[in-house]
Structure 1
Amino acid sequence: MTKVLVISGHPNLEASLANRTILGDLQDEAGLTIETRYLDRLYPDFNIDVAAEQQALLSADIIVWQFPFYWYALPALMKKWVDDVLVFGFAHGVGGDKLQGKKMVLSFTTGAGAELYNHGQAMNFTVEEFLPPLRQTASLCSMALQQPIYSNGMSFIPGVSSDAHKAEVEARAHNHADRLMALIRTL
């Protein structure tokens, strides 16, 4: 059976409507073995257990990074996870072929709407144009990067956003999880 490892990079998942919904849907998926590593719960002090994280990666067939797109990149805790775990001799370099051929999926949400990720708009670039560092990370680690799954306009602020907006974000999060699972089932 295919083993899927999900690295949850949200720095405060309990405060997230979109990422929490997506991850909840994944846990309910029948027929797959899914392990989720919740970085915010495991490492609130940013002290990553490198050996445990590397072992989780070694036992996975498919690796999913689930995160909110913060300032066009990974959230700080997830970036630290990358820095600490995907080291020379393990993930790349001499003897660093441990992740070779593993399938990797970038699954993320943006707070800003899709229309803002265009030239001349607020973000000034498309989402795809922000992804080369993440693509190169997968390449350097010899992982088979899949087409990213992402959803825009996923920001919800309790006490500020309307109930209707909350329902829209939840519906898009369920759709995101459905698209992610459809991709995983093809791998």
Structure 2
Amino acid sequence: MALIILAHPKFESSVANKTVADELQSGTDIEIRNIHDLYPDYKIDVKAEQDALLRHQTIVFQYPFYWYNMPGILKHWFDEVFEYQFAYGSRGDKLKGKNFIPSFTVGSSESSYNILGSQHFRVYEFCKNLEQTALFAQMNYIDPMYFYETSITAGFSEEDIRNRAIQHAKKLLSRIIELQ
């Protein structure tokens, strides 16, 4: 059905991303590749990752929003896996027409992500690099799916985070099904 590239450096202690992954995995035909577990040394098996991408029409990138971007291992994963003549170049059309869905969790509140908020920009403004990556690889860029208030250290309750994560997973699964 879909491939989830999961990139969370502290997945076992995560509430939001762990709940999303658990919800997506239960009772669905979704392949989840936890790249932190697979590559703790950051030595990406490029062929295995490319093979996984080729098996699926829809690829979801699930991660926590870190310093207004993706975690370092996911950036490294893109650098390694989306290589010349695979994702781009004269013969680099292997991902052409596949769906690219960014899905992430945002620790702080929605109100902080606006011109007057502490983050000064809306979340989607930080996603242009993702959109360009998808377009450069001839993929169908699907607008990012994300939700706010996922940080316990920022004062949000575990129960509220879990409930938001369950709702997010349901919306994400609906979107995946719609794209099939």
Q: Under a length normalisation based on structure 2, what TM-score does the superposition of the two structures give?
A: 0.96
The count of residues paired between Structure 1 and Structure 2 equals 179
- Structure 1 residue aligned with 2:130: 134
Deviation at 1:161?
A: 5.1
Deviation at 1:7?
A: 0.1
Is 2:34 the partner of 1:51? Answer: no
Is 2:91 the partner of 1:95? Answer: yes
Paired residue secondary structure (2:48): helix
Partner amino acid for 1:166?
E
C-alpha separation in 1, matches of 2:171 and 2:36:
25
Deviation at 1:6?
A: 0.3
- Structure 1 residue aligned with 2:175: 183
Q: Deviations over 1:106-143 (max 9, x none)?
A: 10001111110000211100001111101000000111
Native 8 Å contact 1:111 1:153 kept in 2: yes
Partner amino acid for 2:19?
T
- Structure 1 residue aligned with 2:112: 116
2:79 to 60, 63, 83: 83
Deviation at 1:146?
A: 1.2
Deviation at 1:156?
A: 1.9
Is 2:68 the partner of 1:72? Answer: yes
- Structure 2 residue aligned with 1:34: 30
Partner amino acid for 1:6?
I
> What is the aligned-residue RMSD (CA, Å)?
1.3
Q: Under a length normalisation based on structure 1, what TM-score does the superposition of the two structures give?
A: 0.92
Native 8 Å contact 1:11 1:39 kept in 2: no
Q: Deviations over 1:15-54 (max 9, x none)?
A: 1110000000000144xx2111001100111110001000
Q: 5+ unaligned residues in a row in structure 1: which ranges?
A: none
Q: 5+ unaligned residues in a row in structure 2: which ranges?
A: none
- Structure 2 residue aligned with 1:18: 16
Is 2:166 the partner of 1:174? Answer: yes
C-alpha separation in 1, matches of 2:11 and 2:87:
27
Partner amino acid for 1:175?
Q
Native 8 Å contact 1:108 1:150 kept in 2: yes
Seq. identity, %: 41
C-alpha separation in 1, matches of 2:112 and 2:27:
32
Question: After the TM superposition, which segments of 4 or more aligned residues of structure 1 sit over 6 Å from their partners?
Answer: none
C-alpha separation in 1, matches of 2:83 and 2:148:
31
